[in-house]
Structure 1
Amino acid sequence: MTDPVRWGVLGAANFARHFMAPAIHEALGAELVALATSDPAKAEPFRAFAPGLRLHDSYEALLADPAVEAVYIPLPNHLHVEWTLKALAAGKHVLTEKPIALHADEIDRIIAARDASGLLAAEAFMILHHPQWQRARELVRGGAIGPVRHVDAVFSYDNRDGANIRNRPETGGGGIRDIGVYTYGSVRYVTGAEPEALEARLIRENGVDTWAQVTGVMAGEGQRFTYSALTSMRLFPRQEVVFQGDLGLIRLTAPFNAAVFGEAQVELHRPGLSVTVERFPAARHYKLQVEAFCRSVREGVAYPVPLEFSRGTQVMIDRIFAVATDISL
């Protein structure tokens, strides 16, 4: 059996504690061996499932640990580029939370460092490792609904905690950077299309977008369709993506937080009120993401969500901010 990839985590973030660290611990081909935190009390929940975990009191100390091969970075958005580059310079493979950067040109720096080092660096865009998205892509590109004519994507939740990093401009907060990556990147993945024309209306609080409506036209892979996306950090929770074509539509009911928001389902609606529902109750996208990363490290297979794809989504985000009009409701 191939030796597992030995992982370290930079910081004892709640998200790492509840989702990614357990996924690394449970994933085939992975072993969680180290955590960097200056507060030993924050390490105890991690040690509950990884009792042999080594603690480092600084990020630099973890990057200097020769036993650590790969690093997961769940730090606030504005620190992602800095510590991704430091991890690569330290000779570590690195998986960094989304958005991996705040501007597309910053991803160019990471790509250059990745290529120079020969290491794997990627954005933790976990949803594309979920079989519901792979199935949606297969159906759309296989012509199940005919040419795509329109796509709707919605992701909202309610977060009014002013201290939360998502509500703070100095940490790279805002709804677009937190959840817009999903409503934009998922549609790019399924259709292969890129934005041709975009308009955006934003509501901002304290310098971050809390509500964003993006509309426009996307084109590519022989298709051209209208597009509408809504993201908000001030609305009742909702998640849904619909791909509508001439011959039917595909609806994903829990597209972004599968098994947390609800059961992942792909509905195929066809003429005559025909509805076929495929369910994915057991799929765990965080675990699948780690396993894909480890296969790429150990076996050299292409990672399914490369930085070039992440850059394309960031280009779209940059463009949205450039054309956005601020409104109030």
Structure 2
Amino acid sequence: MQRPVRWGILGAAKFARQYMAPAIHAAEGAQLVALATSSPEKAEPFQAFCPDLNVYDDYDALLADPRIDAVYVPLPNHLHVEWSLKAMAAGKHLLCEKPMTMRAAEFDQLIAKRDETGVLAAEAYMIVHHPQWQMVRRLIDEGAIGKLAHVSGKFSYDNRTDMGNIRNKAETGGGGLRDIGVYVFGGARYATGQEPDEISARIRWENGVDTLTEVQAQFPGFSYSAYVSIRMHPYQEMVFHGETGVIRLTAPFNARVFGEARVELHRAGLEVQVTRFPGDDHYKLQVEAFGRSVRDGVDYPCPLEFSRGTQVMIDRVLEVATPL
């Protein structure tokens, strides 16, 4: 039996505590061994389910630990590039929260460092590991809905009562586009394998942070529309509309949290075929896929080049957007 990939986490972020640390702990072929945080009390919830966790008060000390094979980085957005580069320079495989960079050009130095060090480095874009998205990609490729005509994406939540949140601060890379735009953009790109030719957008700004963004785009084979907001009632949906059918995802981005993941296949005669995914944990599946790539050299489903393409789309939206 192969030795598990031993993980360390840089920072005791709420998201790491609630989702990724438990996923690493539960994943087959993975072992959570270390956490770095400047606040010892923040380590206690992690130690509650992982009692043998080594806790460091310094990020560099964790990176220097030879026992650690891979590092997960859930730090605020503006720190991602700095600590991703440091982790790779330390010889650690790297999984960094999205958005991995603030601009697409910053991916170039990450890709160069990955190639120089030979480690596996990836953005934590978990949805591509969920079987619902793999099913959608297959259905489109097989022509289950005929020629694809239009794709639409919607993702919103409301955090106006938490103005201290990093997502509400421009200086920490906040805003809806970087936080959740990656999903409506990357989901369309992943499922179709296409990149947008033309983009137009409108953005509502609040204290330097985008709180509502509406996007229209033209891909080579279909039109596209989407919105993301951090000031609207929670909602999410992706729809792929073809000439002979429709694919709809009811919980495309926060499966099990927003609701049960379902793929609806609408066909002629108002026939609807529903496939449910009640128990799949895309965070755990992400860790296991990462481990297979580290141990066995299996191609990783979401390389840095794919994540760079999503950031290119975000950059273009920011460049062309008019005020809303």
TM-score normalized with structure 2 length: 0.99
Query: Who is 1:168 aligned against?
Result: 169
Amino acid at match of 1:281: P
Matched, 1:265 2:258: no
1:216 maps to: 217
Q: Which residue of 2 aligns with 1:246?
A: 243
Indicate the residue corresponding to 1:278 in structure 2. 275
In structure 1, how many angstroms separate the alpha carbons of the residues matched to 2:119 and 2:19?
Answer: 24
CA apart distance, 1:216: 1.7
Alignment of 1:183-202 (within 5 A): 183-202=184-203
Q: Deviations over 1:171-221 (max 9, x none)?
A: 0000000000000000000011111111000001010100000002112xx
* Equivalent of residue 319 in structure 2, options 315, 322, 326: 322
CA distance in 2, matches of 1:59, 1:289: 23
SS at the partner of 2:78? helix
Give the superposition deviation at 1:37.
0.7
One-letter amino acid of the counterpart of residue 91, structure 1: G
- The reply on whether 1:256 has 2:253 as its aligned counterpart is yes
- Give the distance between the partners of 2:297 and 2:56, measured in 1 at CA: 30
Q: Are residues 1:136 and 2:136 paired?
A: yes
SS at match of 1:55: strand
Q: Matched residues in 2 for 1:244 and 1:101: separation? A: 31
1:135-175 deviations in whole A, cap 9, x for unaligned? Answer: 00000111000111001100000011111000100000000
CA RMSD across the alignment:
0.5
- Is 2:289 the partner of 1:289? no
C-alpha distance in 1 between matches for 2:217 and 2:85: 34
SS in 2 for 1:238: strand
Question: 2:110 matched to which residue of 1?
Answer: 110
SS in 1 for 2:203: strand
Alignment partners' CA distance in 2, 1:208 and 1:140: 35
Equivalents in 2 of 1:294, 1:93: separation in Å?
10
Which amino acid letter does the alignment assign opposite residue 56 of structure 1? Answer: Y
SS in 1 for 2:285: helix
Output the CA distance in 2 between the equivalents of 1:38 and 1:260: 29
Counterpart of 1:123 in structure 2 is 123
Q: Which residue of 2 aligns with 1:228?
A: 225
Q: Distance in 1 between matches of 2:298 and 2:237?
A: 32
Partner secondary structure for residue 272 of structure 1? helix
2:61 maps to which residue?
61
Offset of residue 127 of structure 1: 0.6
User: Aligned partners of 2:79 and 2:38: how far apart in 1?
Assistant: 17
The DSSP-based 3-state class of the residue aligned with 1:215 is: strand
Shift of residue 40, structure 1, vs aligned partner: 1.1
1:325 partner letter: T
Provide the rounded CA distance (Å) in 2 between the counterparts of 1:236 and 1:320: 23
* Residue equivalent to 2:146: 146
Q: How many Å apart are 1:114 and its aligned residue?
A: 0.1
Percentage of pairs with the same residue: 66
Match of 2:305 in 1: 308
Measured after TM superposition, the shift of residue 77 of structure 1 is 0.4
- Separation in 1, partners of 2:323, 2:82: 30
Give the CA deviation at 1:260: 0.4
Partner residue, 1:88: 88
Q: What is the CA-CA distance between 1:326 and the residue it aligns to?
A: 1.1
TM-score (norm 1): 0.98
Which residue pairs with 1:43 in the alignment? Answer: 43
- In the other structure, the counterpart of 1:14 is 14
Q: Distance in 1 between matches of 2:170 and 2:38?
A: 25
Superposition deviation, residue 273 in structure 1: 0.7
Counterpart of 2:267 in structure 1: which amino acid? Answer: R
How far the C-alpha of 1:123 sits from its partner, in A, is 0.1
Which residue number in structure 1 is paired with residue 52 of structure 2? 52
Distance in 2 between residues matched to 1:267 and 1:235, nearest whole Å: 25
Equivalent position amino acid for 2:189 in 1? R
Q: Which runs of 5+ in 2 are unaligned?
A: none
Runs of at least 4 residues off by over 4 Å? none
Measured after TM superposition, the shift of residue 39 of structure 1 is 1.1
1:31-78 C-alpha deviation (Å, 9 max, x unpaired) = 000000111111110001110000100101100111111000000000
Amino acid at match of 1:113: K
Give the counterpart letter for 1:140 in structure 2. Answer: I
Q: Indicate the SS of the match to 2:112.
A: helix
